[in-house]
A and B are shown apart, each in its own frame.
Chain A
């Protein structure tokens, strides 16, 4: 039987570990934010070649999977909503439900989750591998700040590309929803568009894009932070990668919940 004292010691260790993690994250966020600000003040110091490379890997390379996931998400959402709303004769509300849900919530959220799996994990693996092969130490001993060298190009690339992917995801998601409306209810395109325009305000689209900017910051920050925290054993990079994805998704969902409330308060109850 486990000794109660061991459990208390274990709790204490976990509390200290958590404190270390929180302090490390805060310090990392501060360091990266300072490096980003330095990049704004001295754009010439940005590593443009790396920035363009990451623009490509975070953006165009991620378009096919974004399109596939978003389209399927639109299809599933439309099917589920159609089954329920048909019972109450509320089919005309479906384009509004699909549009609002995708533009405000599911579009930015699903695209961010896909980007976490693709880019966030890649950032953690890349930086973790560099740590193990002493490349981070090499940067430090050259007098170069690793955050400016490694994180800033990734951050700017994500801040530019994730909103664009979100716009693509929004469009394709709504198109997926329309395919179901068309096949199940025989709804013509002009009717779908008119009903969508009636129920979906431009501000919902802007809300989703703004959320994606925040998510881009979270994905890059978490992925790189986990990379920098990589240990030195053989499975450390794998652990960092998994941890980057899990932590990032947790932060994204928490932030999404907070932003959902914030925007609702901002719009007022009239929406």
Chain B
């Protein structure tokens, strides 16, 4: 496993230190340590129930960990007071599994919401930015559509657009291609790569869609429910072919021989 905790003077986009998470007294993941450098696309991978989404929700500040610390661009989201937490949260965008679009608002209003609530931008400026974000996810012309009128893939792309509303440098995608057909899933992967190319954002995804992982991820952090922690960490193709852990090799081999986005042995 790569050592991700080597001394690095620049703050990582995300740094997890000695993190233990769980519910009540039940520990789900114990003593996690990793860093995610700016500009990487990193996937948190693991079997069902291993705590992937729970880890994501801790990193974005929705849950308090049992122990340890999480630094977002060098600032702790665990010890921050409410005001500072909101300030840290304004630095990232999150696209949830089901989209989490507000059903009483149309698409344009959904994307404009964080701009209206958190900035002093004029209406004209907000309209312009909403159009830009919709263009980025290929949804121009759908401004007036309500979430209930959109397909699953369109909802996911709209959620990406809303996550991008305030031009964050850090994006979190929870199961972006879950429940979508392969073609729509392909399209979403292209959108994710385009977002990275145009915004240079750091992207952290939680998914177990292996084709998507091989297409977009620079690096995979593999979790195990049995070991309650990280079992391996590296580029998807490298882990599939060379991981010391048989579980990791088997898991990633189920994705076939997809060509990895990354040719590096280890991006950590």
Contact = CB atoms under 8 A, between A and B. Distances in A.
B242 interface: no
A141 B60 contact: yes
B185 interface: no
Contacts of A144: 113-114, 117-118
A141 B94 contact: yes
B150 interface: no
B34 to A, nearest CB: 21
Contacts of A149: 117
Interface string A120-140: 000000000010011101101
A143 interface: yes
A205 to B, nearest CB: 37
A239 to B, nearest CB: 20
Contacts of A133: 98, 100
A236 B245 CA distance: 41
**Chain A binding site: helix, strand, loop or mixed by DSSP?**
helix
B89 A143 contact: yes
Nearest to A53: B104
Contact of B62 (A50, A141, A142): A141
A141 B102 contact: no
Given A137-B57, A137-B62, A142 B114 contact: yes
Contacts of B162: 138
Interface in B33-78: 57, 60-62
A268 to B, nearest CB: 47
B89 A134 contact: no
Interface string A81-111: 0000000000000000000000000000000
A133 B102 CA distance: 9
B96 interface: yes
A140 B89 contact: yes
B96 A137 contact: yes
B87 interface: yes
A134 B60 contact: no
25 contacts: A53-B104, A133-B98, A134-B97, A134-B100, A135-B103, A137-B100, A138-B94, A138-B100, A138-B102, A140-B61, A140-B89, A141-B60, A141-B62, A141-B92, A141-B94, A142-B90, A142-B118, A143-B86, A143-B87, A143-B89, A143-B114, A143-B118, A144-B113, A144-B117, A144-B118
Given A135-B102, A137-B57, 7 more contacts: A138-B100, A138-B162, A141-B60, A141-B61, A141-B92, A143-B89, A143-B114
Interface of B: 57, 60-62, 86-87, 89-90, 92, 94, 96-98, 100-104, 113-114, 117-118, 162
